[in-house]
Structure 1
Amino acid sequence: MNIDRIAGVAPILLGINIDHVATLRDARGGGHPDPLRAAMVAIEAGADNITAHLREDRRHIRDADIERLMAALTVPLNMEMAVTQEMLAIALKHRPHACCLVPERREELTTEGGLDVSAQMAAITPFVAELRAAGIQVAMFIDPDPEQIRASRKAGADAVELHTGTYCEAALGGDSITLQRELKRLVEGARLAAREGLEVHAGHGLDYENVAAVAAIPQIVELNIGHYLVGEALFVGLGESVARMRDIMDVTRAEVQDTANELRARGA
């Protein structure tokens, strides 16, 4: 292990995605369960920020949810959004702390992969510039691919969120070869992104069993998790599900810092 890569390990932040609280609400109509109430419970349990994806088809989060979250949250709001003029106008109106640009297809059940930044540079670069000019931090939700990481920097992004979905699917399926390959991609992607001057986040499909290996990557400073914790909340409550994830992440990060301290003491 190279001490230069882990010295001064930063604390890791937990962002909670509340989209699927809205999914449950919208299945019946009305206002229950309330995504804003869920956000407040998550914050009380240890969330550092709240993520909400305002999709073009409005299948869960609604425009009114973004307005209410902006008015009431005591932590930053991370608004996930497609690269469209409609979403740009909404973001510039509300000015959330951060916007994460994601690919979006109407027929998908959930985001299926990372944004192809390199293929859309001409459209994405001015889009990012407008958001940043408004004081909004911009992240790209991308696969841990060197081309996409470098393209994100060239497009002017502040951060990248590395897509962990393939890694999580391999963990769920017991595919150890793919699991190790994808974890290596995340490790190397996080290192490259940090060297490129990008803040490094990660998310998609993370759960209690697979999160520790990702939280142990020292360059990753934020994890965004939603569906699993909302599902787990059916059995233990949202506060408990978030608090347990917070604990796993913190314990893992403390172990990484202890390793860094030990290596430093040895002069490694």
Structure 2
Amino acid sequence: MRDRVRLGVNIDHVATVRNARGGVHPDPVRAAREALAAGADGITAHLREDRRHITDTDIEALVALCAGSQRPLNLEMAVTDEMLAIALRHRPHAACLVPERREEVTTEGGLAVAGNEARIAPVVSTLKAAGIRVSLFIEADPRQIAAAATVGADVIEFHTGRYCHLQGQDQMNEFSRIRSGAESADQQGIEVHAGHGLDFATAARMLAIPHIRELNIGHFLIGEAVFVGLDAAVRRMRTVMDEACR
């Protein structure tokens, strides 16, 4: 039996629904509170440049909630001066550096760390100096993993969206690529997380990789909550993950 794998719940799309009509309902902070009560180990939120879902006010409230509940907040952020300043002001437990394009519907692919070390390394260093744990959202590519080690990342989170959308042998090949990447990262002293597109079935399969310590799941859980409620959706994911670790 392996150690318990942490579950981070991304509450971005609660804010997406709220922002579709304006106002304050549904409240992503309330969703975060319910997710933690249902067994989530932490909360993830992406403050985008265009503020299309999570807002600055949300981040301020989430920082207070997570501090009060002694659970970590993982702030997903682009590698920009604006986001660095926000992270330094709020000091979340962790910051995950992600790629970001205004025209994308959701995060597409991993951050290109290789070739951009000179831009990313100072941001990593500044965040770490402020006591913020730094993660990089990347593809399971040897070049990106090596670059993540070079810039001093504490954690890498593998983008699992491609794996979740593939089928058959192509999916098996992608799984092997993620497994090999996780082994390599672990050998280099980097903690391994995974996320994007995961549901009950793909999350369980991902935990066949022993080096993965945390899954971050959002869209599927918020969508499932429409039918069964957020409490039930998070509790079932927690059960699925625990059973996969036995």
TM range (shorter): over 0.9
Measured in 2, the distance between the counterparts of 1:124 and 1:68 equals 28
Is 1:39 the counterpart of 2:35 in the alignment?
no
Aligned pair count?
243
Measured in 2, the distance between the counterparts of 1:10 and 1:113 equals 28
Alignment correspondent of 2:11: 18
Measured in 1, the distance between the counterparts of 2:232 and 2:2 equals 27
Alignment correspondent of 1:68: 61
One-letter amino acid matched to 2:195: G
Is 1:148 the counterpart of 2:124 in the alignment?
no
TM-score, length basis structure 1 = 0.90
Q: Which runs of 5+ in 2 are unaligned?
A: none
Measured in 2, the distance between the counterparts of 1:209 and 1:219 equals 19
Deviations 1:56-88 (A, max 9, x none): 010000000000011122111000000000000
Equivalent pair of 1:104/1:111 in contact (CA under 8 Å): yes
Q: Which has the larger radius of gyration?
A: 1
Query: Aligned residues: percent identity?
Result: 60
Alignment correspondent of 1:29: 22
- Residues 65-214 of structure 1 correspond to what in structure 2 (within 5 A)? 65-73=58-66, 74=69, 75-170=71-166, 175-214=167-206
One-letter amino acid matched to 2:225: A
Deviations 1:2-52 (A, max 9, x none): xxxxxx833200000000000000001011000010001100111000000
Poorly superposed stretches of 4+, deviation over 3 Å:
none
- Residues 53-64 of structure 1 correspond to what in structure 2 (within 5 A)? 53-64=46-57
TM-score, length basis structure 2 = 0.97
Q: Secondary structure at the match of 1:57?
A: coil
Equivalent pair of 1:10/1:218 in contact (CA under 8 Å): no
Measured in 2, the distance between the counterparts of 1:106 and 1:32 equals 25
Q: Which runs of 5+ in 1 are unaligned?
A: 1-7, 255-268
C-alpha deviation, 1:223, in angstroms: 0.1
Alignment correspondent of 1:264: none
Measured in 1, the distance between the counterparts of 2:3 and 2:189 equals 15
Measured in 2, the distance between the counterparts of 1:29 and 1:232 equals 22
